[in-house]
Structure 1
Amino acid sequence: MAARSAERSPAARRRRDAVGAVDTVDTVVDMDFSKGHGTENDFVLLPDLDVRIDLEPARVAALCDRRSGVGADGILRVAKAGALAAAGVLETLPDGVAEDDWFMDYRNGDGSVAEMCGNGVRVFAHYIRAAGFERRDEFVVGSRAGGKPVVVHRADADRGEVTVDMGAVRELGATTATIDGRVFPGIGIDVGNPHLACVDPHLTASGLAALDLTASPGYDPGVFPQGVNVEILTALDGGAVDMRVHERGVGETRSCGTGTVAAAAAALRHDGADAGRVAVRVPGGEVLVRIADDGTATLRGPSVLVASGVVSDSWWRSLTPTRANAGA
């Protein structure tokens, strides 16, 4: 694997010249990729307009490995929704997603399929706008949780700023999480994917930073049969909270976009409010969440495109499930 700057990438230059002329693993020796992050929640972006890349879970996990792969929290395949449906990747188009919409086919770092990723949508939208795939500043990004309208405020070659309409935030009821040997009361929240957000009014920013999130938090599998993303956060102070997150299928990450929305909703509820604006500080930076009176949310934050390069076709094809999982 060789990394090049996004500015100099031949793949990026080809895409600026012709959106439809995209190389695939069936026709070229190497597979193009870009690397980006939203508040240090990082992703490998794979442009695959013809949907020919086999995102077998072991291959995804190997590519996301930080020692022997490119390294990332997950993979974002870039394709149109109709092409993914025609290839059988999507059984049906999710609500609010048209065939011609760009679709964020998101895979967690362990290779599992994920419904939604707020940071991923921001990076995805920034990428397709900066690369010339999309020329509008307002459009819909498809996800398995439905269509997500976005507003691209900035889309330079490396820096971006995007607001995502996250849709409805739905409470699932009170429950608990066990973190670092302590039981924290929390609220189950659906933001297109499941979250368990725990507000501790006695927790300081330094106390939050000291918690051990290396082990998966305990939770009630009866409430979350498919697993859950767990957020632990301070109470609202001056319109802001500090948060850490353990993501399902990944582990602790520097940020989680849907998690910041869940955290904002939980913090407002803890403060006796149903709507409001919350600045959510995570280890990777800060985002702004607004929850409206109707229970819908928007998420605004930065995106950074770090580099682009190629993945060796021979390396990719060598990743059989046995080889990719060796030593896991």
Structure 2
Amino acid sequence: MTLAFTKMHGAGNDFVVIDATREAFQPTPATLARLTDRRYGVGCDQVLVVESPSTDDVDFDYRIFNADGSEVGQCGNGARCLARFVREQGLSQADHLRVRTASRVLELRHGADGLIQVNLGAPVFVPEQIPMALAQAEVYHLPVPGHGEVAFRALSMGNPHAVITVLDVATAPVATLGPALQVSPVFPASVNVGFMTVLARDAIALRVYERGAGETLACGSGACAAVVAGIRAGQLDAHVQVRVSGGQLAVRWAGGDAPVWLEGETDTVYRGELL
């Protein structure tokens, strides 16, 4: 049996998208390995599965699988690609959509300029809800073997994030400090580690070492987490351009309990079948 799929990306953050609304799809470790492997399979950062809604208050359910086979509750760039996917596949022509992930309901909007926005909801700072095993603080300090004491801000955007401010993302120790923080017992569900350089009050540069995927060319929820962290630090305004390795994203947050909005381009690369 063949499996139809669509390859998409948002600012270089790439996905294999599966339509499970017409035919059921139950991901197995072997299938996910073939879909995510860049040498022996299709290749992607994450596999997205679009399902029929489980409740009447959403248009679709939306499952997200990392390259290591783990299922997660959030992916901002993936959600934006999903909005384009369901329109191109004739599943919905609505300009506004609501989709349910494993952690929250997201609102998606098609803009007149072709850009797609996603409302990722309000950030969460309570350590137990991130989850993170540290007493609540604005800035956390954690000894990390090989890196000394590391200062970071932590929050959840439906998935856990630690944001580290660095002088230059180009020379940041992403490949070593990222995985070192991820395996810390302080983060029982691991963590996405963002390295942010503030360029101006409305601009940052960002690299993210993601759970289950390693460093990616872009991370939508990571961009949102970094902007929120910068705003709370008093370094950023409410509307911020985020320069990532794969392009550019835009994030806005009014603070407090307001939702965080992510915007950017999406692209369908090709469609195919896995034999």
Asked if structure 1 preserves the Cα contact closer than 8 Å seen for 2:66 and 2:72, the reply is yes
Alignment CA distance shift 1:51-1:176 (3 Å) = farther
**How many correspondences in the alignment?**
260
Give the TM-score, by structure 1 length: 0.73
Choose from 117, 122, 127 the match for 1:168: 122
Query: Which residue matches 1:125?
Result: 83
Gaps of 5+ in 2: 128-136
Quote the Cα distance in structure 2 between the aligned partners of 1:69 and 1:106.
18
Match of 2:215 in 1: 252
TM-score normalised per structure 2: 0.87
Residue of 278, 284, 293 corresponding to 2:240:
278
TM-superposed deviation, 1:267:
1.2
- Decide which of 230, 234, 237 is 1:267's aligned counterpart: 230
Residues 199, 270 of structure 1: 8 Å contact kept? no
Equivalent of 2:160 in 181, 190, 194:
194
RMSD over aligned CA atoms reads 2.2
CA distance in 1, matches of 2:223, 2:76: 9
Query: 2:251 matched to 1:289?
Result: yes
Aligned pair partner of 1:211 in 172, 181, 200? 172
> Structure 1 residues 51, 222: CA separation in 2 closer, same or farther (over 3 Å shift)?
farther
Gapped regions of structure 1 (runs ≥ 5): 1-28, 83-96, 313-328
Residues 104-159 of structure 1 show CA distances to partners (whole Å, capped at 9, x for unaligned) of: 1110011100111000000011111122111110110221122111111269xxxx
Distance 1:161 1:42 in 2: 17
Q: Which structure 2 residues correspond to residues 1-328 of structure 1 after superposition, within 5 A?
A: 29-50=1-22, 52-82=24-54, 98=56, 101-153=59-111, 160-171=114-125, 172=127, 173=137, 174-176=139-141, 178=144, 181=147, 183-200=149-166, 203-204=167-168, 208-215=169-176, 216-219=178-181, 221-271=184-234, 276-295=238-257, 296-312=259-275
| SS of equivalent residue, structure 1 residue 128 | helix
Aligned in 2, Cα 1:300/1:62: closer, same or farther, shift over 3 Å? Answer: same
Match for 2:210: what amino acid?
Answer: E
Cα gap change, 1:179 to 1:308, in 2 (>3 Å): farther
- For residues 254 and 130 of structure 1, what CA distance do their matches in structure 2 show? 24
* Contact 2:106 2:118 survives alignment (8 Å): yes
TM-superposed deviation, 1:179: 9.7
Shift of 1:36: 0.2
| Letter in structure 2 aligned against 1:230 | V
CA offsets 1:195-226 (integer angstroms, 9 cap, x no match): 001123xx03xxx2133433443238443211
Q: Offset at 1:175?
A: 2.5
